[in-house]
Amino acid sequence: MIEVRELSKRYGDTVAVDALSFDITPGVVTGFLGPNGAGKSTTMRMLLGLDHPSAGSVTVDGRSYRDLPAPMHEVGALLDPKAAHPARTARAHLRWLVRAGGLPRSRIDEVLALVGLSEVADKRVGGFSLGMYQRLGIAVALLGDPATLLLDEPANGLDPEGIRWMRNLLRGLAAEGRTVFVSSHLMTEMQQTADRVVVIGRGRLIADVDTAELVRRGSGGQVKVVSPQPAALSALLTDEGATVRGDSDGALLVSGMDSARVGDIAMAHGVRLHELTPRRVSLESAFMELTDDSASYRSRGLGAVDTEETATVAHTPATGRPEGSD
């Protein structure tokens, strides 16, 4: 259990973290989201005792990180995957950490297998891809078999198979009763991985909710309707209070009314439908709405439709990544 209480951090005139309070509970994956510069890394660094809070506190199972008797057993962290020395092999890197942490050497092969690096264990990490560095960073985080995991952008650089592996790993670790706190910019991925999300902007708490609840809260889903009588249908739906606009393919996009009601109205008036597709709001669009005021660096002017079609392709399962995400 991670408890953040009125946590603040100032760097000169910059307030990086501003009176943040939230709890991260065991047994679930909690996503940590926020626009660039929101204060996520600063919060994570304070959690790991790498930075001192200007005010407030952050504790893991009731103690600050520096007071934990066996930190590697209690908290595993991935902050900078490139922290490993490039001239060392993956095994040597882990051996060094095992020695420093007083952990059993048998753990080295266990974690290498867990992250899929057994075959390259004796290769120098300098030749690793970013995805392999990430896997090694996760191996380091898991070395002490910790009850709490703190991962900053763990899916960065992973290929589609790697992202799916990561998702299953995180969910499995949470299912074992661990506390899993993970920051990410990959919204579609978070939607599939995180049970809860903590959203911050400009150092302040914006939301601390179940992922599904946040998606529900987004500004209502739309219904896509294709009919050979679009003008008649549009008039009927507008009369019943819906907002209707046409898309470039000739379909109607209906807001303010669910698909069942659209279908019932069409049926009652003998209007034929060729397609009726509920589209739900994605975590990405809910996130954009929530953080709109607090994003420091966001380009404006693109009125993107950030919905995903539930009845057709809800996600890109192979990658879990929205197009254009990094």
Q: Which spans of this chain sit near ligand ATP (rule: CB under 6 A)?
A: 11, 14, 16, 34, 36-42
Give the number of C-alpha atoms closer than 13 A to the C-alpha of residue 183, restricted to the C-beta side. Answer: 23
Nearer to ligand ATP, 39 or 218 (CB): 39
Q: Where are the beta strands (DSSP E) in the chain?
A: 2-11, 14-24, 29-33, 55-60, 75-78, 148-152, 179-183, 196-201, 204-210, 222-226, 243-246, 252-255, 275-281, 307-309
| 176 versus 292: smaller Cβ distance to ligand ATP | 292
Smallest gap, in angstroms, from Cβ of residue 49 to ligand ATP?
Answer: 15
- Angle formed by the axes of helices 230-239 and 259-268, nearest 10°: 110
Nearer to ligand ATP by Cβ, of 277 and 325: the residue is 325
Distance of closest approach, residue 282 Cβ to ligand ATP, in angstroms: 19
- If the CB atoms of residues 183 and 307 are measured against ligand ATP, the closer one turns out to be 183
Question: Which one, 155 or 236, has the nearer CB to ligand ATP?
Answer: 155
Number of H helices, E strands in the chain: 11, 14
- Give the nearest distance from C-beta 37 to ligand ATP in angstroms: 4
Q: What is the DSSP string of 187-223?
A: HHHHHHH-SEEEEEETTEEEEEEEHHHHHHHSS--EE
Class of residue 185 by CB neighbours under 10 A (exposed 0-12, middle 13-18, buried 19+): middle
Whose CA is closest to 117, among 137, 99, 147, 144? Answer: 137
Residue 42 beta carbon to ligand ATP: minimum distance, rounded to whole angstroms: 3
For ligand ATP, the closer CB: 50 or 232: 50
Q: Residue 102: left (phi > 0), alpha (psi -120 to 50), or beta?
A: left
Least separation in angstroms between residue 12's CB and ligand ATP is 7
Contacts of 221 (CB under 8 A, 6+ apart): 258, 278, 279, 280, 281, 307
Closest distance between ligand ATP and the C-beta of residue 311, in Å?
33
Beta carbon of residue 67, minimum distance to ligand ATP (angstroms, whole number) = 23
Q: Choose between 144 and 154: whose C-beta lies nearer to ligand ATP.
A: 154
